[in-house]
Structure 1
């Protein structure tokens, strides 16, 4: 079953796109799967405890909010559920959380002045975390964009919802199979909750903050949830394959399953290719913007080895950080005035009143139209 679960997770376009990227969500997903799986291992030992701690530490180090979302259900299970109660599990979960959160806490005091200050600034950067409903936003980003912020103008393409529908079908079939096949052999096993219960609760715990608190969406946010649901979905898929092969028209059933899976993989590959193409075009745009900036005395452009003695600060209305990096400048924050900005890079937007007299230079040949550079005189 494990290879099937890995194939379901690895076949998602989000996984194909992000697994090799410097983004935390895939690594958080792997830490979550490892921690939950070893927590549920029937024969606990120092190795399994170490594995639980390592998985939670990895997830927490990569993304602290996800790490605590993983650790909380496991900690409650280790404290409250008799079948899983034990000092070893409790210490493993708490140790993993502490190990992963310690670097974050140290950095919070060094760079932000404290944990509360860092959380406050993080909330502001995320657009003010608050109770809301983002379910529809996460449906819309299943086919991209990579970051939907804001999501008001993004629609839902029916073909992109196929994974959610397939996931619902497979998880339901997997749960039905587990319930049908569960036959306790002893009184202790009769009182033991199904392992899938804790897995699903952990998957839900990771997803809920993004669905209820974050005012925007990105498809990678739910990668850990997809990874934790994959084993149950894999069991459901194997069950459906078995049912199809056991029927009178076995080849028809097997063919139908094959067509559905083939269509699913085709959609995922096309989505991965489409989003990769868009991202490649965006990166080319950043280089073209940097070249225009360099021609007008700002930054070092995108030429390898280029240098400039004049420091520069870049402002704009989109992609300011990557643009500044490519141009060799520092990114400027939101400003009500020119401050120390060397230039403004705007896309499909008019300059603020204080920059209307700055020389305007259009950026030619871009993948996305509307890039304009305003250089401070």
Structure 2
């Protein structure tokens, strides 16, 4: 920014960073006070939803989640497939090459360093505080790191062209082709996982219809009830309403006390196991 150049630019830059922190935190603090009753309560609720935020190192969980499942929580019973981790090897290598190339060319790499810093800040909570993983968590960090990584690729291409190094060109080409092939396979895998998981809503809706639930209707359950209600054309009501709902949707949970005697019907062949439909007698 031109306003941050010249005399006293360090002080101005620090002031700009401080102002940015305040501008970013202020809406969050205001919302915490108005909606959650304070910052402490908001953090406590976030901690409860995440199953207990704590100091962890969840690198293995993130490596395991690269090829699925949608949510690695917990990651027991699944392992790390080495070929899909190539991105974690290739990306930092290209980032380092890009930063070094900008330094050697005596060009300002401030924008690239900023991208790296923001990527680290974005990924750190998921790597060091959240005890589980999902592939989507680190997508913003990947996107930011592709900027210096692109500079790294250009540096390798420039080296191959200026020195007419066929081995360098061949290695780069094979690395990129292999990377694209693995990423295309992962896209196919995750698309299949998403399709199977979303199909659970139709399976649950079918069981509801089989047992007499049709619009207009009101469903109770957890937050996962919302897409099921949308699929059915129903509304969503609280778990403990003043009037009983048309059905209760549960996953690996017991019905509320007022529906303990209602008939229960398990939903077969679901991607996420444990779905049960509870309907009035």
TM-score range, shorter chain: 0.7 to 0.9
| Contact map agreement 2:159 2:165 (CA 8 A) in 1 | no
Q: Describe the shift of the 1:376–1:154 C-alpha distance in structure 2 as closer, same or farther (beyond 3 A).
A: farther
CA deviation after TM superposition for structure 1 residue 99, in Å: 4.8
Structure 2 counterparts to residues 271-350 of structure 1, below 5 A: 271-298=186-213, 300=214, 306-308=215-217, 311-315=218-222, 319-327=224-232, 328-330=234-236, 342-346=247-251
2:88 equivalent to 1:164: yes
| Contact map agreement 2:65 2:134 (CA 8 A) in 1 | yes
Q: 1:138 aligns with which of 55, 62, 80?
A: 62
Structure 2 counterparts to residues 333-372 of structure 1, below 5 A: 342-346=247-251, 358-364=262-268, 366=270, 371-372=275-276
**Residue in 2 aligned with 1:151?**
75
**Residue in 2 aligned with 1:127?**
51
CA deviation after TM superposition for structure 1 residue 95, in Å: 5.1
| Structure 1 portions without partners, runs of 5+ | 1-42, 50-77, 184-191, 301-305
Q: Describe the shift of the 1:295–1:103 C-alpha distance in structure 2 as closer, same or farther (beyond 3 A).
A: farther
TM value normalised by structure 1: 0.61
Q: Describe the shift of the 1:140–1:154 C-alpha distance in structure 2 as closer, same or farther (beyond 3 A).
A: same
Separation of aligned partners in 1, 2:78 and 2:237: 27
Separation of aligned partners in 2, 1:232 and 1:272: 23
Separation of aligned partners in 2, 1:267 and 1:193: 30
| Contact map agreement 1:206 1:224 (CA 8 A) in 2 | yes
Separation of aligned partners in 2, 1:83 and 1:107: 34
**Residue in 2 aligned with 1:85?**
11
CA deviation after TM superposition for structure 1 residue 119, in Å: 1.8
SS at match of 1:279: helix
Name the Cα RMSD after superposition.
Answer: 3.6
| Contact map agreement 1:289 1:363 (CA 8 A) in 2 | yes
| Contact map agreement 2:219 2:236 (CA 8 A) in 1 | yes
Q: Deviations over 1:237-281 (max 9, x none)?
A: 11112223344552x532332222122112212212221222122
| Structure 2 portions without partners, runs of 5+ | none
Count of residue pairs the alignment pairs up: 274
Separation of aligned partners in 2, 1:204 and 1:151: 23
TM value normalised by structure 2: 0.78
Q: 2:2 aligns with which of 21, 28, 44?
A: 44
